[in-house]
Amino acid sequence: MRNEKILIVEDDIDIMEVLSLTIAKAHYTVLKAISIAQGWHMAMTEQPDLILLDVNLPDGTGFELAKKIRAQSDVIIIFVTVNHFIDQKLEGFEVGADDYITKPFIPKELLARVQANLKRKAGPKKSNIIHIDNLAIHYDEKNVYKDGVLLNLFTKEKLLLFYLIEHANQVISVDQLIDHVWGRDGVADSKTVSVHISTLRRKIEDTPAKPKWIQTMRGFGYQFVHKKKSDGS
């Protein structure tokens, strides 16, 4: 049995069965919920590593649940839903989704996306802390602090920020960001990246409308601007 726990929030019995069998065969621990109320309770008490979340639930929407969970946790959230319109996908990403899979789905593809998201979140272990003005990036904790206060960053926002900082003062294309953060099999596009960059700026920049760090290089991509001091910080 793997260490990772996966919570499935789905009210359709047949789809729940397919998802459960797919996840269980890969030796993950499966947790089940059929409503927002149950999903919230399981997310808070069981602390899963990843949540497969339907949008249309009997007591509300998966967007509501994702937003509520995001206020407490950076657990990976993947929407699995019949909603395929771009506005609905963007709404999912805006409330903190890491990925979006449209029904009907191919079980092997869904499993591959689950494994890719878990692998990306684990990432390479780093033991150092980087200070950039009033920001402190703790690679060991995978957390970011501003003025000593822990920022509530979504997983994808952290991956974007870490990648941009690791390549500070280099122009990173949208395709590079998509490949690194969402993977080639993800559902991200330039709009998805733009939404995440915008929410990230609102959290780390003092003046998001005139960003100091994350600069847009029109026609090329994005750049994290950082002039290193003589002490290497």
Model confidence pLDDT, tens digit, residues 107-126: 999 999 999 999 887 765 55
Residue 212's SS3 state is coil
pLDDT in tens, 35-90: 999 999 999 999 899 999 999 999 999 999 999 998 888 899 999 988 777 787 88
pLDDT in tens, 159-171: 999 999 989 999 9
> What whole-number distance in Å separates Cα of residue 25 and Cα of residue 61?
28
What pLDDT is attached to residue 148? 93
Q: Residue 135 carries which side chain, given as an amino acid letter?
A: L
What pLDDT is attached to residue 228? 60
> What whole-number distance in Å separates Cα of residue 179 and Cα of residue 173?
10
Residue 114 parent element (H or E): helix 107-122
Percent of the chain with pLDDT over 90: 66
Q: Is it the case that residue 200 has pLDDT exceeding 70?
A: yes
Q: Is it the case that residue 98 has pLDDT exceeding 80?
A: yes
Per the listing, tokens 């939404």 go with 195
**Residue 200 class from Cβ within 10 Å (0-12 exposed, 13-18 middle, 19+ buried)?**
buried
What pLDDT is attached to residue 233? 47
Angle (CA) 49-24-85 rounded to 5° is: 65
Average of per-residue pLDDT across 187-193: 86
What pLDDT is attached to residue 230? 36
Q: Is it the case that residue 15 has pLDDT exceeding 50?
A: yes
What pLDDT is attached to residue 186? 66
> What whole-number distance in Å separates Cα of residue 126 and Cα of residue 158?
14
Average of per-residue pLDDT across 204-220: 93
Q: Maximum CA pair distance of the chain? A: 61
188 band by pLDDT with thresholds 50, 70 and 90:
confident
What pLDDT is attached to residue 232? 42
Q: Is it the case that residue 103 has pLDDT exceeding 70?
A: yes
Q: Is it the case that residue 151 has pLDDT exceeding 90?
A: yes
What pLDDT is attached to residue 223? 95
214 band by pLDDT with thresholds 50, 70 and 90:
very high
Buried b vs exposed e over 187-198: b needs ≥16 C-beta within 10 Å?
bbeeebbebbbe
